[in-house]
Structure 1
Amino acid sequence: MSGYCIACQEKPQPPRVVVVGLASCFGCQLQITNVEEHLLDVLGQIDLRYWQLTSSEPMPDAFDVAVIEGAVTTVEAEETVRQLRERAGAVIAIGACATTAGIPGMAAAGFSERPGQVYDLVPEACGDMVAPQPVGSVIDVDFEVRTCPVDSLDFIDVLQRALYGSNKAVPTRTMCGDCKRNETSCFFGKQQLCLGLVTRAGCGARCVNLGRPCNGCRGLSPDANLPSAREACERYGVPVADFDKALEMFNQVNPALAASE
């Protein structure tokens, strides 16, 4: 009778993960560390091969999941994300800068003129700059963690889906529905601008719950009706120009914004 020794069986290797930062404040990566209660459990499930925020070691050649924070603003960054896409089985873009171009994206319009407004001669350290764009404009992205900065538990949820698979649907509805469910009062009734009526839901309308209007950091919802939103602004005495200007913060490179003008 043959014996069986579990200690002799080869253990499955944990998924290899790299975390890369592009043009951003690195705040989303810091948010990952703020989930102390669960962080060690998460790290125990993965082989964290590279984290730009914590180490100057070179990125390895082989890994399974690439987590990317920040907007693409240089030719070097374009090449970096393409290499990450080639090597990784799954790519996760985290934060507004990576998913919508975020704050860097505000400089995208007329970008060719902007470096000259700051530098007489652009320093070599800036590299060959390109108009800021989200990671998804350069490569196919498998998962996104939106908001600015990301919610730590939302990141863990998406990472689990990337590691183990999931059929969880990504919401496309606008934020207003969440406000109704939370029974919070509407800022438009106070003649105050709020971008919740066109912003992609998914955060639970947390800013509104805290008494602050939505600034749209999750980006435009695919279900957003911009002409109707502008009509709502007029109806409630909110300047349409203020609405359009506010949209530029996190949606400057979104084709839907240009198409609605």
Structure 2
Amino acid sequence: MGGTNMGCGNDERQARDLPRVVVVGLASCFGCQLQITNVEEHLTDVLGQIDLRYWQLASSEPMPEEFDVAVIEGAVTTEESEATVRKLRERAKCVIALGACAATAGIPGIASRNFFKRPSQVYKDVPAACGSMVVPRPVGAVIDVDYTVRCCPIDTMDFIDVLQRALYGSNKFDRTGTMCGQCKRNGTDCFFDQGQLCLGLVTVAGCGAKCVNLGRACNGCRGLSPDANLEAARAACERAGVDPDDFDEALALFNQVERVQSARE
């Protein structure tokens, strides 16, 4: 497929053809889609490897019926968006979840707990424009996702890396360790030593701990690590003089859905 083997599919197409890509936005600020354009120096090289059939941010044209790769930004918050991602999964050989909202439900996910009580707290009668709402959830809670680009907003080069893996295949393992390991390798000071909350002890590694390197505590936008131990993290907060309730509140910013799921498990 234009020198590609489509890591998520086994179809052999003519060498002159390029992988057909669609970029779709759900409940989000569209900031991660904007981040894609911030790689100006390499953007034409990236576009030269794909056939960009549809980009919701840039066009009002209807989405085509046939494509190979679906890039999805945003959380699933309505029955319509749920049907959309199912349709995308049926037709795409490869699905990429783009950004925190697609990966963990992100900011929309803050409302997931007691969700159906919330509209009545705002509206006497829920407006028809709200449509048929569902509990906010990440794309991966509705369909199988092949690749995920994490963070809020995404790192543009991380997106390019993931797109390359989707197009050409890869045996690269997803990271499972927590951010604390990267901080130690970077030689940065721990915020807990200063009695300050940081979510790096439960957040999945992979961003190079950029925020911490700049003197800002991790806010958990990459999502919970599979190795995260929330009870141990709360105990660590207590030892550092940080209120565990503050930890739970901070975790809800990007990980409310995952936190509720972890509690059930």
TM-score bracket for the superposition, by shorter chain length = over 0.9
Structure 2 partner of 1:215: 219
1:154 aligns with 2:158: yes
State the shift of 1:12 in Å.
Answer: 2.1
Structure 2 partner of 1:204: 208
**What are the ranges of 5 or more consecutive residues in structure 2 without an aligned counterpart?**
1-13
Paired with 1:77 and 1:259, the residues of 2 have a C-alpha distance of: 25
Structure 1 partner of 2:8: none
TM-score of the two chains, using structure 1 as the length reference: 0.94
Paired with 1:150 and 1:18, the residues of 2 have a C-alpha distance of: 18
Alignment: residue pair count: 251
Q: Secondary structure at the match of 1:180?
A: helix
The answer to whether the 8 Å contact 1:35/1:152 transfers is yes
Per-residue CA deviation, residues 105-127 of structure 1 (Å, 9 max, x unaligned), is 00000111111222222222221
State the shift of 1:259 in Å.
Answer: 3.8
Q: Secondary structure at the match of 1:253?
A: helix
State the shift of 1:210 in Å.
Answer: 0.4
1:172 aligns with 2:180: no
1:47 aligns with 2:43: no
Letter in 1 for 2:39: V
Structure 2 partner of 1:115: 119
The answer to whether the 8 Å contact 1:251/1:257 transfers is no
State which of 224, 231, 242 in structure 1 corresponds to 2:228: 224
Deviates more, 1:87-96 or 1:121-130: 121-130
Structure 2 partner of 1:145: 149
Per-residue CA deviation, residues 124-175 of structure 1 (Å, 9 max, x unaligned), is 2221000100000000000000000000000000001111110111000000
Flag the structure with larger Rg. 1
Paired with 1:135 and 1:256, the residues of 2 have a C-alpha distance of: 15
Structure 1 partner of 2:27: 23
Paired with 2:223 and 2:107, the residues of 1 have a C-alpha distance of: 12
Paired with 1:212 and 1:93, the residues of 2 have a C-alpha distance of: 26
Deviates more, 1:223-232 or 1:165-174: 223-232
Q: After the TM superposition, which parts of structure 1 deviate over 3 Å for at least 4 consecutive aligned residues?
A: none
Structure 2 partner of 1:93: 97
Paired with 2:222 and 2:105, the residues of 1 have a C-alpha distance of: 11
Per-residue CA deviation, residues 79-108 of structure 1 (Å, 9 max, x unaligned), is 000000000000000110000000000000
**What are the ranges of 5 or more consecutive residues in structure 1 without an aligned counterpart?**
1-9
Q: Secondary structure at the match of 1:66?
A: strand
State which of 114, 131, 138 in structure 2 corresponds to 1:127: 131
Q: Secondary structure at the match of 2:144?
A: coil
Paired with 1:177 and 1:211, the residues of 2 have a C-alpha distance of: 17
Letter in 1 for 2:198: C
RMSD: 1.1
Structure 2 partner of 1:258: 263
State the shift of 1:11 in Å.
Answer: 4.5
Q: Secondary structure at the match of 1:222?
A: coil
Paired with 1:157 and 1:236, the residues of 2 have a C-alpha distance of: 37
